[in-house]
Amino acid sequence: MTELSEKTVAAATVALPSTLRLGVARTRVELKQFFRSKDSMIFTFLFPVIMLMIFATVFSRQGDVGPGIPGGPISFGQYFLPGMVATGVMLTSFQSLAIQIPVERDDGALKRLRGTPMPSASYFLGKVGQVLVASVVQLALLFVVARVLFAIPLPTAPGAWLTFLWVFLLGTACGSVLGVAFSSIPSSGRSASAVVVPVVLVLQFISGVYFMYSDLPTWLQRVAEVFPLKWMAQGMRSVFFPDAFKAIEVRDSWEHPMTAVVLAAWLVLGLVVGIRTFRWTRRGDN
């Protein structure tokens, strides 16, 4: 150990770094940590790609979907793609934050950050940055695999991509704030995945990600309609299916306005709950 050199600086005259700059710095380290963790790589980042490959391969012999519908039929891979897009958004936003934050709270990372001049807003900007970058890369990879390996046609109309953009952004925002809000529920870092993963799994099964939503019993459809994943999946179907396929939806419509309303409502709810419940320290540790 050597002595530290001393610059004499009047601390008061030097401004603190801006919230935005530190948000960018946080994004960088968040992404490093995300991509270096095997768990988040496999069970969050690559999960939709892996599932698409399995399903598109296994069910390719079962024939196509919607033979009587104009613009149809579509391959099973294409049928499965929007569900995997919605799942990817939910995993990368909701699941990863709802698991990561309790771990950070438990291992003292949040407490350490709290003891520095980094503003809380920068921390959350870092999380948003992580979710955005990771999900954009994740979906890009998913589209490449879909197109190249399974010859799934991707939409060409600008309108479809515009729909994709707002459903994606609203879904990511909603999933992120809900992930932050949910992060106060697991009692420890170790129990976080045990609490979060079943919630995510049940939502996937009832939201028409793996099965055709219209095949679900009506009461289960009503339950799923309360939650955002069903609406994200439906919104993504409107992007990746020919327009006439809205005939397979339960209300013969893509229901875009309703999608926007439900996602926005969860976004607001998540913000209100998240702001009130977020803690930098373990329960009973202050």
Ligand X SMILES: Nc1ncnc2c1ncn2[C@@H]1O[C@H](COP(=O)(O)OP(=O)(O)OP(=O)(O)O)[C@@H](O)[C@H]1O
- Whole-angstrom distance, CA of residue 184 vs CA of residue 274: 8
Contact 220, 46 (CB under 8 A): no
Contact 45, 92 (CB under 8 A): yes
Q: Is 31 in the site for other proteins (CB under 8 A)?
A: no
Q: Is 39 in the site for ligand X (CB under 6 A)?
A: no
Residue linked to tokens 């959350």: 124
Q: Is 7 in the site for other proteins (CB under 8 A)?
A: yes
Q: Judged by CB under 8 A, which of 109, 160, 185, 271 binds other proteins? A: 109
Nearest to 44 by CA among 141, 121, 125, 110: 141
State in angstroms the smallest separation of the CB of 23 from other proteins: 11
State in angstroms the smallest separation of the CB of 114 from ligand X: 16
Q: Is 188 in the site for other proteins (CB under 8 A)?
A: no
- Whole-angstrom distance, CA of residue 81 vs CA of residue 179: 24
Site map for ligand X, 255-284, x if CB under 6 A?
Answer: -----------------------------x
The single-letter code of the amino acid at 29 is V
State in angstroms the smallest separation of the CB of 189 from ligand X: 17
State in angstroms the smallest separation of the CB of 282 from ligand X: 8
The interface partner of residue 116, options being ligand X, other proteins, none and the CB cut-off 5 to 8 Å by kind, is other proteins
Q: Is 32 in the site for other proteins (CB under 8 A)?
A: yes
Q: Give CA angle at 130 (128, 132), nearest 5°.
A: 65
State in angstroms the smallest separation of the CB of 111 from other proteins: 6
**What is the residue-wise DSSP string for 13-39?**
GSPPPPHHHHHHHHHHHHHHHHHH-HH
- Site residues for other proteins, 69-108, by CB under 8 A, read 104, 107-108
The single-letter code of the amino acid at 79 is Y
- Whole-angstrom distance, CA of residue 170 vs CA of residue 162: 12
Contact 56, 224 (CB under 8 A): no
For 130, the enclosing helix (H) or strand (E) is helix 120-150
Site map for other proteins, 36-55, x if CB under 8 A?
Answer: xx------------------
Q: Is 285 in the site for ligand X (CB under 6 A)?
A: yes
- Whole-angstrom distance, CA of residue 266 vs CA of residue 274: 11
Question: Which range binds other proteins by CB under 8 A, 18-26, 57-65, 158-166, 264-272?
Answer: 18-26
The interface partner of residue 119, options being ligand X, other proteins, none and the CB cut-off 5 to 8 Å by kind, is other proteins
User: By the criterion CB under 8 A, which residues form the site for other proteins?
Assistant: 1-7, 9, 11, 14-17, 21-22, 25, 28-29, 32-33, 36-37, 104, 107-109, 111-112, 114-119, 281, 285-286
User: By the criterion CB under 6 A, which residues form the site for ligand X?
Assistant: 284-285
